[in-house]
Amino acid sequence: MMTGETIQSGAALVCDECNVDALSKLDVYCSGAGYYVGTYCECGPYSRESRYYPTHAEAEKALDDWNFGR
């Protein structure tokens, strides 16, 4: 993981382009690689805070337990 790639590693909490508080959008999202805990802003995907999970339920449990990370 690169510095600033995730909120945990130093990414800004507010998107420089659309000024949305990315942390307030922490949720489960889906990509071609699977489900993940991450953030979105008005510009689109902002950060991926977790590894990829094979199911929405597994990613949701990680978020609910606050047990995710890369």
Overall pTM surpassing 0.75 (yes/no):
yes
Residue carrying structure tokens 């508080």: 21
CA–CA gap between residue 60 and residue 51 (Å, rounded): 12
Confidence (pLDDT) at 36: 96
Ranges assigned E (strand) in the chain: 27-31, 34-41, 44-48
Q: Residue 24's domain spans which residues?
A: 1-70
How many other C-beta atoms are found inside a 10 Å radius of the C-beta of residue 21? 12
Strands of the sheet containing 27-31, edge to edge, are: 27-31, 34-41, 44-48
**What average pLDDT score do residues 53-70 get?**
94
pLDDT digits (tens, 9 = 90+) for 13-61: 898 899 988 778 899 999 999 999 999 888 888 889 999 999 999 999 9
Residue carrying structure tokens 């000024």: 19
How many residues comprise the chain? 70
- The tally of domains found in the chain comes to 1
